[in-house]
Amino acid sequence: MARILVTAKGGFGDVFPVLAIAHCLMTRGHEVCFAAEPHHAEVCAMLGLRHVPVGGDGAALRGWRTRFGAVLPPPDLAAELAQLLPLAERAELVLGNQLAYAGSLARELAGVPWVFCVASPLAMPARQDPPFWPVLHRLQRHPLGRALPAGTYTGLARAGAHLAMAPLVRLRQRLGLPARGHPRFEGLYSSRLNLLTVSPALLPSRSDGPFPTLVTGFCWLEPEFLQQEGALGPLQAFAAGGAPPVIIVPGGSLRNHPARFFEAPLAACRLLGRRAVVVTAREAPPPAPDLYVTGYMPYAQLFALGAAVVHSGGIGTIGWTMRLGVPSLLLPSDWDQHDNARLAVRARAGIMSAQGRNAPAIALALAQLLADAPAQARLRALAPRIAAENGAAAAADAIELDIF
């Protein structure tokens, strides 16, 4: 059995797939240490994983500057590296995600194998399937913008990201480490094994991009520690009191300002005469007979009660709606969500993106989604295949076969 250092940073959507793989490796007898931000300690405890706190305290990201900074090398990158290096030196493998910059440096200095693991296809963009890039997506969708070569946007995205990664580049230079390509892309990729923890239904082939790459299927992890005791019964009673409601789930950075997300979809539901469930722990809408407000609940329980789910297009949320066969209306807001939406809509499985953010536009899209019987049939037919995916086991198999 092997000693494995797993290092991951980011929100739950970034970290949960890596946690699922780490837990699978641990259950196979490997000695696993999980280095992540302090706010992931509780889920590590739930899984029985040894947790080493690294980085900030996971405070809510408020303001675009703070959110932008959360995906860049932190100011204390050198301190994180000093903390992780001794752990990497005693490991036989380091597994890390797209925000684990210090972990990547530590494994390079320690000279141990590296496995790169991401939940978002945008972190490993394919040349033959150009993604929608953050900020640039508006121009990419515009008729004039579509006339430009896809490489134009890729070049702009890479140039901007390279400038933003200057602290990492400088630290590599101080450490005497050679350049390894773009610090946000090739510089993080593994020459041994790259894991993309999404369903092949979203990415049917991966003929270019980093090699070797395994599209594992979704890695399922339900955070039991976030469940609210006694909350399911009242929600089930509300759902059973009429037609299945529409589930509205703020995601990404808008979890910290949920009213900005749920107000227009809630108004759209009322235009259609549909009842709604809003998932929020703050900024709750006023009580009403057609509305149920709840804090976080496991998606397997929550989504199964709904006629459709309105969400921002986080890749994990897309996975759960596909697994449960529930249609999705996507309102992407930032980072990889626009590209996730592109991939999900292309899969033609009961998933749509609204063409506007006001209540009438959302109501129109929601009505079309709920009336699209063929798309819903395709989604129901696909759901058992999605549910059968075990990305964590597929990843663990590949690690054991290719690395050890």
Point out the least confidently predicted range of 185-189, 222-226, 264-268.
222-226
Structure tokens at 147: 């006339």
Q: Which helix (H) or strand (E) holds 292?
A: strand 291-294
The mean pLDDT of 18-28, rounded to a whole number, is 98
CA 230 – CA 52 distance, rounded (Å):
32
pLDDT at position 225: 72
Of 202, 229, 224, 230, residue with least CA distance to 215? 202
Range from 175-184, 195-204, 250-259 carrying the lowest mean pLDDT? 250-259
Distance of alpha carbon 12 from the chain centroid: 8
Are 23 and 49 in contact by the 8 Å Cβ rule? The answer is yes
Could you report the per-residue pLDDT of 35-58, keeping only the tens digit for each?
Answer: 999 999 999 999 999 999 998 765
Q: Exposed, middle or buried, 81 (CB in 10 Å: 0-12/13-18/19+)? A: buried
188 with 399: CB under 8 angstroms?
A: no
Q: Which class for 78: exposed (0-12), middle (13-18), buried (19 or more C-beta within 10 A)? A: middle
- Assess whether pLDDT exceeds 70 at residue 16: yes
Can you give the residue ranges of every domain in the chain?
A: 3-220+389-402, 229-388
Predicted confidence (pLDDT) per residue in 78-94, tens digit? 999 999 999 999 999 99
CA distances from 214 to 171, 210, 311, 398 (A): 30, 10, 27, 8
pLDDT band at 74 (very low <50, low <70, confident <90, very high): confident
- End-to-end CA distance of the chain, in Å? 9
How would you label 162-177 residue by residue, b for 16+ Cβ within 10 Å and e otherwise? bebbebbeebbeeeee
The mean per-residue pLDDT over the stretch 255-270 comes to: 92
CA 94 vs. chain centroid, Å, equals 21
Angle between helices 315-324 and 12-27 (to 10 degrees): 70
Specify the long-range contacts of residues 308-311, CB closer than 8 Å, at least 24 apart: 308/246, 308/247, 308/366, 308/369, 308/370, 309/246, 309/247, 309/248, 309/249, 310/246, 310/247, 310/248, 310/249, 310/265, 310/362, 310/366, 311/248, 311/249, 311/250, 311/251
- Closest by Cα among 210, 27, 33 to 121: 210
Domains 3-220+389-402 and 229-388 share a fold: yes
Sheet strand arrangement including 93-96: 50-53, 31-36, 3-7, 93-96, 114-118, 193-196, 213-215
What is the spatial distance between Cα 109 and Cα 126, in angstroms, rounded to a whole number?
29
pLDDT of 209 reads 67
Q: How many whole angstroms separate alpha carbon 156 and alpha carbon 370?
A: 38
Separation of alpha carbons 400 and 146, rounded Å: 43
The DSSP bridge partners found for residue 381 are: none
Q: How far is CA 309 from CA 58, 85, 199, 268, in A?
A: 27, 43, 19, 13
For the segment(s) 3-220+389-402, the CATH number from 1.20.1440.130, 3.40.109.10, 3.40.50.2000, 3.20.10.10 is: 3.40.50.2000
Q: How confident is the model at residue 67 (pLDDT cuts 50, 70, 90)?
A: low
What distance in Å separates the CA atoms of residue 86 and residue 106, rounded to the nearest whole number?
Answer: 8
Give the pLDDT of residue 23. Answer: 98
**Which pLDDT tens digit goes with each residue over 301-352?**
999 999 999 999 999 999 999 999 999 999 998 889 999 999 999 988 788 8
Pairing relationship of beta strands 93-96 and 3-7 according to DSSP bridges: parallel
Q: Which of 203, 160, 169, 174 is nearest to 188 (CA)?
A: 169
Asked if residues 15 and 97 have their Cβ atoms less than 8 Å apart, the reply is yes
Confidence of residue 282 (pLDDT cuts 50, 70, 90): confident
Rounded CA separation 246/328 (Å):
10
On whether the 229-388 domain is CATH 3.40.50.300, my answer is: no
pLDDT computed for residue 57 by the predictor: 65
Mean pLDDT (whole number) for 196-204: 93
Q: Which residues pair with 276 in a beta bridge?
A: 246, 291
In the predicted model, what is the mean pLDDT of residues 17-22?
A: 98
7 torsion bin: left (phi>0), alpha (psi -120 to 50), beta (else):
beta
Query: Are 296 and 318 a contacting pair, CB within 8 Å?
Result: no
> 3-state DSSP call for residue 160?
helix
Q: What is the pLDDT of residues 88-134, one digit of tens each?
A: 999 999 999 999 999 999 999 999 999 999 999 999 998 888 899 99
